[in-house]
């Protein structure tokens, strides 16, 4: 298939682009490099530098596209609370322009990077796709708005649309010839932060709260290897049905606490990794774990890289390359 990958210079987008190329697809990456990196665009992909809303029409107008994988987005929860305008413009308005370009050029399918943040504080864990969507920040709200847009475009215009709601994406793509991973200018994610301590660029890691209602008092999350996530995108492309908007949660179905993650990083790196307890971070739910039963049943997807040590080891190998 000929595919447009928006945000293909970013973490998840670049790894998915690599998987698509390996599977024999033709890939055009569109990225404004605001948070992505030119050298993360895998060899073999055509690269177009441009802002999504302004450029998508031009790119899709060149014709022949069989689908779009839409990763380009702003994705920092804290920033979205302070600057919601960036999320309505960068996520919702830009995605609307992309969808209009998809419609005008009769592109048949689209796979969208949605998020567990669309659910907000869960009533039920593991979280099924039928759980209420009550995002607690503008980031989650902006992604949910795009999910709603996709439902309406599928119903009205026959688009085959799939939203993949990611839980905590982690690890790196280190097998094969390409090495791709997480490189954020401002790092807020737990595993890369802990590995910065092991690498000596940070003194200690803060554990945001040790009084949560969890077995060891720290927050529990569902860490999914970025290569498993990429596998789900390829299956979603294959299984997309015209006129339907499908929504799938993607996690490994098991929860690890912040303390367990720090312990795994100690075991993998051999570094003592000092950890200090800090106040809770605003907006953090205590436990987020996915039910991925739907993705298994309907996409035939089963994550295979679920061992936390493996996830951390791949992220560590990638960090060592930088």
Q: Which residue is nearest to ligand UFG (CB)?
A: 219
Choose between 34 and 188: whose C-beta lies nearer to ligand UFG.
188
Q: Looking at 11, 87, 119, 139, which residue is catalytic?
A: 139
When the beta carbons of 149 and 258 are compared against ligand UFG, the nearer one is 258
Q: Residue 286 has what DSSP assignment?
A: S
Q: How far is the CB of 272 from ligand UFG (least distance, A)?
A: 17
Minimum CB distance to ligand UFG, residue 131 (Å): 13
CA–CA dist 8, 251 (Å, integer): 21
Nearest to 102 by CA among 49, 157, 155: 157
Annotation marks residue 139 as catalytic: yes
Task: Indicate the helix (H) or strand (E) that contains 30.
Answer: strand 26-31
Between the two ends of the chain, the Cα-to-Cα distance in Å is 33
Question: Is 31 within 8 Å of 60 (Cβ atoms)?
Answer: no
Q: Residues in the site for ligand UFG, rule: CB under 6 A? A: 75, 115-117, 167-168, 188-190, 193, 205-208, 219, 221, 258, 281, 284, 288
Environment class of residue 61 by beta-carbon count within 10 Å: exposed (0-12), middle (13-18) or buried (19+)? Answer: exposed
Select 105 or 249, whichever has its Cβ closest to ligand UFG.
249
C-beta of 58: minimal distance to ligand UFG in Å?
29
Q: Which residue has the tokens 């928006």?
A: 6
User: Which of 117, 268 has the CB closer to ligand UFG?
Assistant: 117
Cα angle, residue 220 at apex, residues 312 and 320 outer, rounded to 5°: 15
CB of 152 to ligand UFG, least distance (A): 23
Task: Name the residues annotated as catalytic.
Answer: 139
């Amino acid at each position: 298939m000929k595919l447009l990958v928006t945000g293909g210079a970013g973490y998840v987008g670049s790894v998915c682009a690599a998987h698509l190329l390996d599977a024999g697809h033709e890939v055009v990456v569109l990225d404004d490099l605001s948070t992505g990196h030119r050298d993360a665009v895998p060899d073999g992909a055509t690269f177009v530098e441009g802002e999504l809303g302004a450029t998508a029409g031009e790119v899709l107008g060149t014709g022949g596209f069989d689908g779009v994988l839409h990763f380009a987005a702003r994705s920092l929860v804290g920033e979205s609370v302070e600057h919601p305008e960036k999320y309505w413009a960068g996520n919702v308005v830009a995605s609307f322009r992309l969808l209009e370009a998809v419609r005008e050029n009769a592109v048949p399918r689209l796979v969208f990077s949605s998020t567990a943040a669309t659910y907000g504080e869960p009533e039920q864990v593991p979280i099924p796709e039928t759980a209420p969507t009550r995002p607690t920040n503008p980031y989650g709200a902006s992604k949910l708005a795009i999910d709603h847009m996709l439902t309406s475009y599928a119903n009205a215009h026959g688009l085959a649309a799939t939203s993949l709601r990611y839980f905590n994406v982690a690890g790196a793509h280190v097998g094969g010839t390409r090495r791709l991973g997480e490189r954020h200018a401002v790092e807020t994610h737990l595993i890369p932060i802990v590995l910065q301590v092991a690498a000596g660029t940070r003194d200690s890691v803060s554990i945001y709260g040790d009084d949560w209602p969890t077995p060891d008092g720290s927050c529990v999350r569902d860490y999914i290897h970025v290569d498993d996530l990429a596998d789900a995108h390829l299956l979603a492309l294959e299984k997309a049905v015209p006129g339907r908007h499908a929504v799938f949660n993607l996690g490994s179905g098991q929860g690890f606490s912040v303390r367990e993650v720090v312990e795994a990083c100690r075991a993998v790196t051999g570094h003592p990794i000092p950890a200090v307890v800090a106040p809770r971070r605003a907006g953090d739910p205590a436990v987020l774990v996915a039910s991925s039963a739907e993705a298994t049943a309907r996409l035939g997807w089963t994550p295979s890289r679920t061992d936390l040590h493996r996830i951390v080891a791949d992220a560590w190998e990638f960090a060592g390359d930088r």
